[in-house]
Amino acid sequence: MKEDKLEKFLRENREQFDVYDPDPGIWHKIKPARKVKEEKPVNWRVIGWRGAAAGIVFILSLLIAEYLLQPYGPFSRFKFANRNEIMIPELQEAEIYYTSQLQLKFQDVKDYLTEYPGLENELIRDFQAIDSIQNELKKDLKDNISNREVVEALIQNYRIKLTILEDLLQHFEYAEGEKNDENNNHEL
């Protein structure tokens, strides 16, 4: 490596440069010109209060959002359970009520249907036809949300299913009563 001429000169004449000492007062002139940032102590109390305030604001915003989005809140007229389904409170209540009633009636009818498997298949086909009509009505409801007639038609389909099960149950109970009467008359 070739050494730089300046470096070589400085090394050789170093002692000649160190002859002069700076005036001690020069440091006093340099020190005020240099701004030293003072470190402030961390005020943990202020940080704690700010954190508490942020937490309270966050919790209040969650509570307000919950209030606005609850089932019977100010924006509850129409809700979207998922992208494909529109939820209307009256329809939701009717679906819950009629679904529970249909399950109870179907349990009662199910005992009789074991004796008549052909009738069970016919009942299932009828209910599937009603369900396909309900699906079409739900599609219509998506197109025209405020159509009260569509909501009424959906509820009417539940009533029809319930009426079919009630009539079937009444028929089975009547037929069973007739059998019991015949058996009682034969025993006498």
Burial class (CB in 10 A: 0-12, 13-18, 19+), 108: middle
pLDDT higher than 90, residue 57? yes
Average confidence (pLDDT) over 70-89? 51
Cα 113 from Cα 124, distance rounded (Å): 11
pLDDT bucket at 75, cuts 50 / 70 / 90: very low
Residue 83 has pLDDT above 50, yes or no: no
